[in-house]
Amino acid sequence: MGNPIKIIKNGIIDENPTFVQVIGMCPTLAVTSSAINGIGMGLSTAAVLICSNIFISLLRKVIPDKVRIPSFIVVIATFVTIIQFMLQAYLPALNDSLGLYIPLIVVNCIILGRAEGFASKNSPLDSAFDGIGNGLGFTIALAAIGLVREFIGSGTLFSYPVMPEAFPHTLLFVMAPGAFFTLGCMMALLNHLKNKKKSA
């Protein structure tokens, strides 16, 4: 059994799914036009990831190697559908803004990647911590990108105007190219900090 704090920290920092593993790019680029959308997408993905990691880990000795991918997909798709029903029923506002992207969680490679790479080889408890770590890492990354894009693109933070009216809205940043620019700059900055730490 691994150290839970180490597993969680590994997911958030050392192997951050967005900035280090660079997986799950589709939702990262598509839904981060505002901070709140990024957090919503991150947390729904985290919820699915934790549930699917635990179940896949529990079933890891039962599932034969040959049918493991279809089995994983069925488990993941089931949780995604359950979350979608729940959002529709109890959080319709969030469901409206994430809408199309919820079903896409099924094919988010973070979830299948962690199922294949971690949960199918580790205990349920460790897998749960891995889900929390990677889920939070993804959420933080999406929220950070969303904050930058929302601030530059609309002059707001969490939909509250923070800049004077005269602040120019760089609409490019709430559209697709802005996602690439923001992600690229953030990745460069993080790598720069990492290299500096290493050479120091």
Q: Which residues in this chain contact another protein in the complex, by CB under 8 A?
A: 33-34, 59, 62-64, 66-67, 70-71, 74-75, 77-78, 81-82, 85-86, 88-90, 92, 96, 153-154, 169, 171, 174-175
- Minimum Å distance from CB 177 to another protein? 12
Quick one: 34 or 108, whose CB is closer to another protein?
34
DSSP class of residue 79? H
Quick one: 5 or 86, whose CB is closer to another protein?
86
Residue 176 · residue 29 · CB < 8 Å: yes
Max Cα–Cα distance, the chain, nearest Å: 62
- Minimum Å distance from CB 77 to another protein? 8
Element (H, E) at 160: strand 160-161
Reference 124, options 1, 33, 24, 27; nearest CA is: 1
- Dist CA 144 CA 19 (whole Å): 11
Quick one: 61 or 197, whose CB is closer to another protein?
61
Quick one: 63 or 125, whose CB is closer to another protein?
63
